[in-house]
Amino acid sequence: MLMRLLTFYQVMPQFLDFLYVYGSPHGEDKNLRFSGFRTEKVLINPVPGTCIPDMGRSGRRFQLCYNLKTVGLKFEQPDQEVDKIWKIRQAAIHHQFDIGSGVQTWIIGDPHAAVKGRVQELFHESREHSAKFGTVEQSLLSSLEVHLALARWATSEWRWNVQSLEEIIDNLTLKIVYIQKSDLETLDSESLGNVQEWEDKTNETIMVMGSNADILTLLRKFYKELVEDQNFPSRELKACKQAVNDFAFQLDEIIYDTQMQISRAKVLVKIVADRKAILIQHLQTQAALVASKLTASMYDQADRSAMEAIAMRIVTVVTLIYLPATFSSTFFSTDVVKYEDGVKFSKVAFERFLQVTIPLMVITFLLAGGWFWWEWQKRSRSSMATRNANPSVFPLHELVSAKGPL
């Protein structure tokens, strides 16, 4: 059915690009970032197939299609941090005007029928509107009124949306910016995610308002150039030019208001970016505090380990000292060495004990010292290789001190 209507009214094929945004199988607007303004103008030498006098078609016409986006309050949730939820909506608009007969056609794609109400306010069904469509200049003036109504529909709610964004971002970030040091532990990474989400929404708002402003600027430029075209009918030129000038003046006001809201939203983005940086610093401070506590805990653990190592070293040294004597005592107490029974003390036995024990102690100390020296050299070479491989981690003075004085 749609293809038949578009064919019957000889709608420019580019209009389909604006209707495809409503083709999501899930009912979601996936192409909110798509914006465009397409025109087609034939003021002289029309194609024969477009001339149908019985239908008021002279073939001398212009067509244009574009899309505009507005924002509407989806629902409110009082007593919540985010108390208002807004939704961006768009309308696809096609308009053609026959400058020979004054016949005009409008096709507007709007799932929520909000634009329909705006147009009905201009041309209510219960009223007589023949005075607005009697001549070419009257028809052109009425079409410009519809364009203005669409422009006002697309820009009327952005002021309140930006204000709502300001309030939501203040609720999310002010308590974070001025948080006390003692409360830093209450912060979490989710706060950063929330702030980033609303920064993205604000940037999306700027993009949509900017596209509206660009499209309205192109619309103004198109009509200004239309009446300056040398092929425009001279009979209606004066009246049409005055109507277009009035239209351009009102459209400039709408564009200016939109630019003001864009500037306001850009300032908000800068504020969010600054506060997000402060939040990141707070989270880094929180991480540093946690790290310092962990470092202190590890220091206590290392201190206890050091004390235990000292105790074990003492035990090892004492054991090393008494090991030869213990071995000798054990050896002399066996049946291998026997002295006369009943003798409580033997000078010869004591001398033999010392002759065995002292050399064993010397040999034990030498072996232990040699083993320690070998392990120390091995460890030093390994440490030096690691330091040489990572000069940025180990400063030069540490390398020099590890090698010894030059």
Residue where one domain finishes, among candidates 292, 322, 357: 292
Question: Helices in 232-335 by DSSP H: which ranges?
Answer: 237-332
159, 251: one domain:
yes
pLDDT value, residue 344:
58
Please say whether the beta carbons of 115 and 94 come within 8 A.
Answer: no
Q: How many CA atoms lie within 13 A of 284 on its CB side?
A: 6
User: CA-based angle 100:101:105, to the nearest 5?
Assistant: 110
**Gyration radius from the chain CA atoms:** 45
Residue where one domain finishes, among candidates 271, 292, 313: 292
281, 225: one domain:
yes
Residue where one domain finishes, among candidates 253, 272, 292: 292
Tokens of 67: 């899309």
At position 175, the amino acid (one-letter code) is K
Q: Domain limits at 128? A: 2-292
Fill in the DSSP letter of residue 187.
-
288, 349: one domain:
no
User: Does residue 86 form part of some domain?
Assistant: yes
User: Does residue 324 form part of some domain?
Assistant: no
157, 275: one domain:
yes
pLDDT value, residue 7:
85
User: Does residue 299 form part of some domain?
Assistant: no
103, 235: one domain:
yes
DSSP assignment of 13-52, as one string? TTHHHHHGGG--TTS----TT---EEEEEE-SS--GGG-B
User: Does residue 399 form part of some domain?
Assistant: yes
254, 346: one domain:
no
Structure-token match 């009327």, residue found: 156
User: Does residue 74 form part of some domain?
Assistant: yes
User: Does residue 333 form part of some domain?
Assistant: no
Please say whether the beta carbons of 67 and 90 come within 8 A.
Answer: yes
Taking the C-alpha atoms of residue 32 and residue 373, their distance in angstroms, rounded to an integer, is 75
**DSSP-derived 3-state class of residue 338:** coil
Please say whether the beta carbons of 15 and 68 come within 8 A.
Answer: no
User: Does residue 173 form part of some domain?
Assistant: yes
What is the chain's pLDDT, residue by residue, as a tens digit (406 residues)? Answer: 788 888 888 889 899 888 887 766 555 556 677 889 999 999 888 887 778 877 778 888 999 999 999 998 888 877 776 778 888 888 999 999 998 888 899 999 887 788 888 888 887 765 665 666 778 889 999 999 999 999 999 999 999 999 999 988 888 887 777 676 666 666 676 777 888 888 999 999 999 999 999 999 999 999 999 999 998 888 888 889 999 999 999 999 999 999 999 999 999 999 988 888 888 887 777 777 777 778 778 877 877 887 787 778 777 877 777 777 777 777 666 655 555 555 555 677 677 777 777 887 788 778 877 887 887 888 788 878 877 887 776 665 444 454 554 4
Rounded-to-5 percentages of helix, strand, coil across the chain: 65, 10, 25
DSSP H or E segment with residue 185: none
357, 211: one domain:
no
> How crowded is residue 228: how many other Cβ atoms within 10 Å of its Cβ?
11
78, 208: one domain:
yes
User: Who contacts 398 (Cβ-Cβ below 8 Å, separation ≥6)?
Assistant: 387
pLDDT value, residue 148:
95
261, 344: one domain:
no
216, 120: one domain:
yes
User: Does residue 312 form part of some domain?
Assistant: no
Taking the C-alpha atoms of residue 195 and residue 266, their distance in angstroms, rounded to an integer, is 15
Domain count, the chain: 2
Taking the C-alpha atoms of residue 82 and residue 117, their distance in angstroms, rounded to an integer, is 30
43, 99: one domain:
yes
54, 193: one domain:
yes
